[in-house]
Amino acid sequence: MNHSTNGLVNVLISGASSGIGRALALHYANQGYCVWAGGRNLDALKSLMEVHRNILPLCCDITNPEAIKAASVSLPSLDIIILNAGTCEYIDEAKHFDGALFSRVINTNLISIGYCLEAWLPLLSTGGNLALTSSSASFLPLPRAEAYGASKAAVTYLARTLSIDLKKDDIHVSVIHPGFVETPLTDKNDFPMPCLVSPDQAAEIIYQGISHNKSEIHFPKRFTWLLKLLSLLPFPIWKKLAARMTK
């Protein structure tokens, strides 16, 4: 673990104003890290700062590369970067495909990561950790997840490629594959969410995984292993099973 220019161990977490990112910010702050908490909602970031004095705001829209650069001018060198911000919207009627929705989800969950990497990776210390939040939805095609699933499958690919290319820089890359976590993002879901975990449980598992330089962090295991097994089925069989879920 390095101690950066401000004498503290610095972790940057995007999407820290809510849900998993907020729980992660508090978890790291409670462990003595200096947390740079990202998000667009300044009020939510301010309320987080009131909870813990180790938390500092990094307020910007990550789909806007100029806004990221402007917000990042005072960042010190970083020890851990967790690219966690994301959104989820479903395609309700594939025959009448909503291109604007597709673009919104891909921009927020995938394209923005390129802007974040460009701005923040040069600040990451040798021996540091980079973690990208994907989803267990990336394991296999799920109904209505054309936009969300495609964005997260691409995030997984991106993380694994970075893991290969950043090895020579001694940067450990983790891809995070959560199952269902109870957050504002999943509060909108109108279907059953098996094995739902709390944001605090998710934060503890992610913290441990990054601390141990795990290349993949997936949880809860009873749910993610089942999805991994189902992903081994021949696609025509999965297609029949998945089609039943939409009836």
The reply on whether position 49 binds ligand NAP by CB under 6 A is: no
18/125 with CB nearer ligand NAP: 18
User: Least distance to ligand NAP from the beta carbon of 187, Å?
Assistant: 8
Cβ neighbours, 10 Å, residue 37: 29
Nearest to residue 16, comparing CAs of 107, 81, 100, 90? Answer: 81
Q: Which stretch binds ligand NAP (CB under 6 A): 5-13, 116-124, 179-187, 236-244?
A: 179-187
Interface map 71-90 toward ligand NAP (x if CB under 6 A): -------------xxxxx--
Residue 42 in contact with residue 16, Cβ under 8 Å?
Answer: no
Among 186, 200, 216, 242, which residue sits at the site for ligand NAP (rule: CB under 6 A)? Answer: 186
Least CB distance from residue 87 to ligand NAP, whole Å? 5
Dihedrals phi, psi of 188, to nearest 5 degrees: -80, -15
- How many Å apart are CA 135 and CA 91, to the nearest integer? 17
Which residues are CB-contacts of 64 (< 8 A; sequence separation ≥ 6)?
Answer: 115
Per-residue x/- mask for ligand NAP, residues 18 to 47, rule CB under 6 A? xxxx----------------xxxx--x---
Rounded to whole angstroms, how far apart are CA atoms 24 and 18? Answer: 10
Q: How far is the CB of 69 from ligand NAP (least distance, A)?
A: 14
**Residue 133 is a binding residue for ligand NAP (CB under 6 A):** yes
Question: Rule CB under 6 A: is residue 132 a binding residue for ligand NAP?
Answer: no
Distance CA 66, CA 195 (A): 39
Residue 174 touches ligand NAP, criterion: CB under 6 A: no
